[in-house]
Structure 1
Amino acid sequence: MRMMIAALLVLTASAATADDLDDAHKLAVIGRDAYWNCLAREYPRDSNRTMSDQEFASLMANACPSERQNFRSSLIGFLAEQFPNQDASAHLATANRAIELAQKDIVTAFVRRKAAAK
């Protein structure tokens, strides 16, 4: 009987952990999508057409601060759930890299669009 209770507790804890991980993943995806959507809204503005590549990159680096922070926080939360033994600074570095890559992608699209328009 004791073994059965112990096994049940382990299964329940595993299910709760899986649910927590799934919830954290969903929040990270929602955060990512909100950030990407915000960057996408900034991309086609008429005032951007006359910007240099560097000006646009700077604009994107500073755009969508609340969405960016929400994405960073939710991704760190997910990584902490998925890799609880990993150092928190590694999670922060990963989240910051994901943000940098999102910004790089939108700037790359901007540069290509400008080059195609010439």
Structure 2
Amino acid sequence: MLMNAIPILKEILQALKDLYEKGEEHVIYINKLPITPEDRELLLDVLGEGQVKITYSSKTQPAEWKETGIFGVWIGIIKNRDDKPVLETIEITYFPKLASAQKEDVQESIKYLEEKISEIETKLKEEEKNV
């Protein structure tokens, strides 16, 4: 029995329009909605499959995002340590936010690269002295 597939599809359509016209992104938390197996089947059938898949390999919270056949619509699944889904989303965005680099991670990368470059420069200077 279909309960929420059509309203969810309409929400996706409006969110796509908002993304295109206003740049606004939207997230639908699927596992927080009462959807039947028939709803899920219809949603997956209408949305189809895209060509991009993003996998976040983490021991504590592995995640996966798949682009649907509708550009700008992504299905995301975040799992727990036991590989069981804890959060399922439909993200209407150009690129899933949770899959993108986080500001703290970029800051950590800056520190790492600064240290590595400094180490290499120091090593090169030492080698030049010994030549």
* TM score, norm. by length of structure 1: 0.32
Higher relative contact order (CA 8 A, sep 6+): 1
Max Rg structure: 2
Higher helix residue share:
1
* TM score, norm. by length of structure 2: 0.30
